[in-house]
Structure 1
Amino acid sequence: MEVVARLLGLLALLLVGTGLRASGVLDTNRTARLNAVAYYVALPALIFISTYDRAIGDLLSPTLLFGLLFVLFSTVGLAWLVHRNRVSRPRQSVAVVQSYHSNLGYLGLPLVDATFNGDVTAVASVVLGVISLTQVPLTVLVLAVVNESETRIRREFVGLLKNPVLLALIAGLAVGSSSTTVPALAVNGLDIVGAFALPLALLCVGASLQVDLSAIDFGASGAVVALKIVCMPLLAWVVFSMLAVDDATFTATVVMFGTPTAVSTFVFANELGGDEQFASLNVFVTTLVSIASLFVLITLVG
């Protein structure tokens, strides 16, 4: 019942965000400011507080790195095979990237932190760092190549290296590996700030979701949902079971890969010639379906 209550709470916050946008309370500027607080303040605080007392060698192993990249690129390959015959290149490019590009920062890590213990959250922070460094440049590359869009991939990669989420992860692991003592007052303050990561993120996601029911492509969107929400976490389950990792690593990887398509894919699609309406629809659908699928995953791994 506790898991059900948590996930129903997630859905409620999403709907509140959507309602605030529809009523005009969360317009574009206010949503952007709220998003900045979540992205530059709350989420980095959560990541730092999850990793500052742990050495990097205890969290990032060759086995974990191999498993993460294997699941990611295997899903990319499946997505390319499934969507290769889409008539529209803008729609094809979006379908491919949204089949693997996970919402790890806004939904994945805060959800793990709210549901599991600190060991699982620490591993989830590392999963966020490794996959973000991989999936963001990959998404930019796929959209740019398929749509023949002009973009500076180097600029995108440099921007990624300045990402506050990744910088917080590096800082936390550096402090943990050096055994530096962090004052209790700072720890308590960051813990309080980090607790706002999930509700703020859900409000922002809800305010960003837009869907045009008349534009639904059931075949393409259904394939995206199947790959992102079903296939990717199932593949993670199989791979990390075979790798015989510890319980915290198994739980973190399966749940993180079970998150819906990231809202940022809509932004990338808009900038790089993708089908914007299709991208917005898939973010909405995968987020909605993931409420049920994450309940199943959390129940099973828990």
Structure 2
Amino acid sequence: MEVLVRLLALLVVLLVGTGLRASGVLDAGRTDTLNAVAYYVALPALIFISTYDQAIGELLSFALVGGLLVVLFTTAGLAWLVHRRRDTAGRRSVAIVQSYHSNLGYLGLPLVAATFADPVTAIASVILGVVTLVQVPLTILVLSTSNGAGAELAEELRGLATNPVLVSLLAGLAVGSLGVAFPGPVVGGLDVLGSLALPLALLCVGASLEVDLPSVDYGATGSVVALKIVAMPVLAWAVFSALPVDTETFVAAVVMLGTPTAVSTYVFAAELEGDPEFASLNVFTTTLVSIATLFVLITLIT
């Protein structure tokens, strides 16, 4: 019951964000500001505070990285098989990337931090970093090659080097591995900032969601939902059950990979000549339905 109440609270905050956008309170400028605070302050604080007292050898393993890559690329392959005959290149490419590109930063890690103990959160932070390094370039590659967009993959990869998520992860792992001690007030302050990551992220996600019901392609959207928040976590469950990983790693991997489609895929679709309306609908639908699927996942795991 506690998990259900927590997830319903997430839904409420998400819908509050949508309502604030509709009423004009969260206009584009305010949403961008809120997004910047979440992305550059709260989320990095959460990642750092989750990893600063852990040595990298305790969190990162070949089994973890290998399992993540198997799940990610297998889901991407299934997405290509399912969506390869979509009517337009824009819709086809968006359907493929939204079937595997997970919302690990704004929903996955904060949700894990709010639901599970610190060791699970630390591993979830590593999962966020590893998967981000793979799924972002893969998404850019799929969209740009499918739609003939002139994206410079090398430029995007250089941008990853200054990504606050990855920078804070590397900083936390470095501090943990070196055994550097941090003053209590600093840790407490970062902990408070990190606790803001989930509500701020949900408000931003809600404020960015737009749905044009007359243009809904139920078959395409239903396939994205089925692959992203049903097939992908089921595959993660099977893969990590077969790997020599501890319970914390298994829990973190399944929950993180069971998150809905990332909001950033809408931005990529708009920039790389995909189908942004279709992308927005899929973000909204997978986020909404994931409240139920994540409840099932967390209930089965705990």
In the alignment, what sits opposite 1:278?
278
The alpha carbon displacement at 1:244 in A equals 3.3
Shift of 1:197: 0.3
Mapped pair 1:290 → 2:290: yes
Q: Secondary structure at the match of 1:86?
A: coil
CA displacement at 1:12 relative to structure 2 = 0.2
Structure 2 partner of 1:206? 206
Which residue of structure 1 lines up, in the alignment, with residue 180 of structure 2? 180
Separation in 2, partners of 1:147, 1:272: 7
User: Residue in 1 aligned with 2:169?
Assistant: 169
Partner of 2:68: 68
1:94 matched residue in structure 2: 94
| Alignment gaps of 5+ in structure 1 | none
Shift of 1:160: 1.3
Q: d(CA) in 1 for partners of 2:191 and 2:69?
A: 30
Task: Indicate the residue corresponding to 1:156 in structure 2.
Answer: 156
Secondary structure of the 2:26 match is coil
Matched positions, count: 302
Partner of 2:227: 227
User: For 2:301 and 2:123, how far apart are their aligned partners in 1?
Assistant: 15
Misfit runs of 4+, over 6 Å:
none
1:75-114 equivalences in 2 (<5 Å): 75-114=75-114
| In 2: Cα distance, 1:235 partner to 1:203 partner | 30
Calculate the TM-score normalised by the size of structure 2.
Answer: 0.99
Query: Within 2, Cα distance between the matches of 1:103 and 1:236?
Result: 15
The C-alpha deviation readout for 1:203-238, integer Å capped at 9, x for no partner, is: 000000000001110111010000001000000000
Distance 1:171 1:119 in 2: 17
Q: Distance in 2 between matches of 1:161 and 1:139?
A: 17
Residue 192, structure 1, aligned to residue 203, structure 2: no
Equivalence for 1:29: 29
Partner of 1:50: 50
Query: Structure 2 CA distance, aligned partners of 1:151 and 1:254?
Result: 32
Paired-residue identity, %: 70
TM-score by length of 1: 0.99
Q: Counterparts of 1:159 and 1:263 in 2: how far apart (Å)?
A: 18
Which residue number in structure 1 is paired with residue 299 of structure 2?
299
> Structure 2 unaligned runs (5+)?
none
- Report how far residue 245 of structure 1 moved: 1.3
Q: Superposition pairs for residues 111-150 of structure 1, below 5 Å?
A: 111-150=111-150
Could you tell me how far 1:183 is from its partner in structure 2?
1.1
Whole-angstrom distance in 1 between the partners of 2:170 and 2:244: 27
Distance 2:131 2:243 in 1: 18
Q: How far is the alpha carbon of 1:185 from its aligned partner? A: 1.0
In the alignment, is the contact (CA less than 8 A) between 2:63 and 2:244 conserved in 1? no
SS of 1:54's partner is coil
Distance (Å, rounded) in 2 between the aligned partners of 1:183 and 1:177: 17
Distance 1:20 1:193 in 2: 23
